[in-house]
Amino acid sequence: MGSLLALIVVAVLAAGAWVGTRAWSAKGELEQAQKEISTVKDRVSAGELSGLRDTFSQVQAHTTKARDLTTGSLWSIAEHVPKLGPNLRAMRELTAVVDDTMTAAQPLAELGDRLTPASLAPQNGAIPLGPIESAATLVPTTADQLAALQARLADISTDGTLRQLVDAKTTLSDLLDTATASLEKVSPIVQQLPTVLGADGKRTYVVMFLNNAELRALGGTALSFAEISVDHGRIEFGRIVPASGGAFRTHGSPIIDLPAGVSSIYRGFLGIFIANATIRPDAVTAAKIVQAEWQQTFGETIDGVISMDGGALSLLLQAVGPVSIPTGDTVTAKNVETFLLHDVYQRYDSGDYRKDNAAQNAVYADTVNATFAKLTSGDVDPVTLFDAMGAAADQRHLSVWFPDPAVQAAIADTPFAARGVPESTKDADVVGLYLKNHSWSKLDYYLKPAVATGSCTADGREVHRVTMNLTNTLKPADVPGLSPSVAGGWKLLGLAKGELQYMVYVYLPKGATLLSATVDGTAQDVPVGNDTGHPVATVWVRVPPGATGTLSVDMLMGTPGDKPVTTDVTPTIRPLTTSTEPLDCSTVALP
């Protein structure tokens, strides 16, 4: 009996040692996998996808070995040992989830070799669709698999187990949550991308270029339009049409249906002539106007509108590099805004308005042609290009609208999506300040804006003050040398040459009340309209050369609280300066 008992003790100790050794080895494999997965994450973040499959395979080899080490009959028996068993069971289940996660993600890692910048760059004017179509299938599939693994992980009990196992579950849960959320976010975009690039047939888009030297709410007048078609990835350029020159009609009433009350705010402008499509702070409305104009003028149905201004063109040139145009000029990221939005208007000054206007439009068209020709040549790093366009979208120099609801919904949560009138959030009240150049000029090249905000609370009522300084940096000594194209219609409007004049549309948060408006310290009696629930005050401001005009508005919020106020302002050539200033409620004319 003693010998038998001794044998049993030895067997138990041996089995325990075997399980312990395997557990220790599995822990080592998982730690090595964790180190290498960090390398994978860093490479993906840096856009280095080539060769990712090999590194990922090394990670998967470690997780598979760890899984093998935590299985077997002895391990299963040991899981029933009091106190030890729950730890072994949790380790086995966690290791299995880790290994299954690597298996689910493996197809994406293999796709990495096909999603390199070189493989995605246009080739002979066409974007290769193969890798993109593969991603359109793999990304949503992997997202679903990771979501299922999240549910499995949640069911694993680590109650009463070692702290290391509890921490491991938390770490793995965070990793899965992040990966799943990222894939679910990009999945709709990736799924729609082949369609956008013409995988199902030709798609036609219009690029609308805004002139920031003649301001409108979204950044500038709609200066010029370029038609682009994409058919199975092949990009072709169609007509380039200036807004001026008689290509588009002037309408007696808006070409599209507008929300109630909006026409009274923008009477005679919005939807009447295509150059003013951007006068309302709603990029969706602007795109719909372009769509309707294209259909009426050319009889063509377009599949999307891309809006971009001088700031976006500058960022685009950062990615593609300098371009040469037939005039002999070299256009770069550094000089494009000054060249196109000022110098060209000064250069062509023959006294013949139509001739000068045609020459100016030709330079713009040549610059656009040269830039997009280089863009589709294949001699561009797609990662750099995407970063540049992302920066343009973040800075509100670029937006995209698709009439197809599914495609638009896919980009809705990205900065690229054309947006409507900005709304307040639970964290901040948003006040819009939108400029319309009303001197018929290109003088906004000289504008430097600044905005200051302040808030106070009186008797539980929240009040905001927003002050906008508009500085005309044009030196008085330079006024005589302004060309007619730059100086604009100052004589007809009763202005001094070089003087800026704006209609400023002040969009208040829904439910707010305008208390007062002043210009250069003088109280103004301003009309207040309504745009989809937003009170809209229209204030006139004039600024002589070398001077600053100051607009200030006080408003009472409809809901008591203590939220900060932020502003949404027309994008301008010279960057906006913002500040916060204290507000004394005793200086506010409260009702």
Per-residue pLDDT at 13 = 39
Query: Residue 17 — very low, low, confident or very high, per pLDDT cuts 50/70/90?
Result: low
Q: What is the pTM of this model?
A: 0.86
Task: Give the residue ranges of DSSP H helices in 299-352.
Answer: 310-320, 336-338, 344-347
> Which residues sit opposite 430 in a β-bridge?
566
> Span 509-538, mean pLDDT?
96
More confident of the two residues 18 and 334: 334
| Rounded distance between C-alpha atoms, residue 564 and residue 446, angstroms | 31
**pLDDT mean across residues, the chain:** 88
Q: Does residue 12 carry a pLDDT above 70?
A: no
CATH architecture entry for 203-411:
3-Layer(aba) Sandwich (3.40)
Nearest to 468 by CA among 506, 525, 512, 498: 506
Per-residue pLDDT, averaged over 306-312, amounts to 94
Give the single-character DSSP code of 123: B
Give the CA dihedral 172, 178, 182, 183, nearest 10 degrees.
20
Q: Look at the alpha carbons of 513, 518, 523, 529 in this order and tell me if their dihedral is positive or negative.
A: negative
Report the C-alpha gap between 148 and 151 in whole angstroms.
Answer: 5
Choose the weakest-confidence range: 7-11, 258-262, 362-366: 7-11
Give me the mean pLDDT over the 285-314 stretch.
Answer: 96
Give residue 44's pLDDT. Answer: 61
Distance CA 66, CA 93 (A): 11
Task: Dig out the tokens for 466 from the structure.
Answer: 């927003």
Give the rounded percent of residues in the chain with a pLDDT score beyond 90: 58
Top-confidence residue, 292 or 182: 292
Greater model confidence, 418 or 81: 418
pLDDT for residue 43 = 62
Rounded mean pLDDT, 463-479 = 97
419 contacts 283 by C-beta, under 8 angstroms? yes
Would you say residue 339 has pLDDT above 90?
yes
| Stretch among 39-53, 427-441, 468-482, 572-586 having the lowest mean pLDDT | 39-53
pLDDT at 294 over 50: yes
Q: Rounded to 5 degrees, what are φ and ψ at 32?
A: -65, -40
- The whole-number average pLDDT for the span 358-384 is 84
Q: How confident is the model at residue 98 (pLDDT cuts 50, 70, 90)?
A: confident
Residue 343: count of CB within 10 angstroms of its CB: 15
- Could you tell me which of 367, 372, 360 has the C-alpha nearest to residue 329? 367
Of the candidates 330, 319, 331, the residue with the CA atom closest to the CA atom of residue 376: 319
* CA–centroid distance for 160 within its chain: 46
The three-state secondary structure class of 489 is coil
Residues in a beta bridge with 501: 542
pLDDT score of 543 more than 80: yes
Q: Give the Cα separation of 269 and 193 in Å (integer).
A: 35
Say whether 522 sits in a helix, a strand or coil: strand
pLDDT in tens, 106-150: 888 777 767 666 677 777 778 888 888 888 898 899 889 989 989
The strand order across the sheet containing 429-437 reads: 528-531, 534-543, 500-507, 429-437, 565-569
The CA–CA distances, whole Å, from 404 to 228, 303, 442 equal: 17, 8, 35
Question: Residue 57, SS3?
Answer: helix
* pLDDT (mean) for 259-288: 95
The structural domains of the chain, with segments of one domain joined by +, span 2-196, 203-411, 429-587
Residues 6+ apart with CB under 8 A from 9: none
Confidence of residue 100 (pLDDT cuts 50, 70, 90): confident
Percentage of the chain modeled with pLDDT above 70: 92
Place of tokens 């670029």: 398
What does the pLDDT read at residue 153? 86
pLDDT of 385 > 90? The answer is no
The most confident of the ranges 59-63, 195-199, 516-520 is: 516-520
- pLDDT at residue 5 is higher than 80: no
Q: Give mean pLDDT, residues 424-447.
A: 96
Band of pLDDT at residue 59, cut at 50, 70 and 90 = confident
Q: Which of 374-378, 517-521, 545-549 shows the lowest per-residue confidence on average (mean pLDDT)?
A: 374-378
Which pLDDT belongs to residue 21?
72
Instruction: Tokens for 346, please give them.
Output: 């000064």
Question: What pLDDT score does 344 carry?
Answer: 95
Average pLDDT over residues 317-328: 93
Note the CATH architecture for domain 429-587.
Sandwich (2.60)
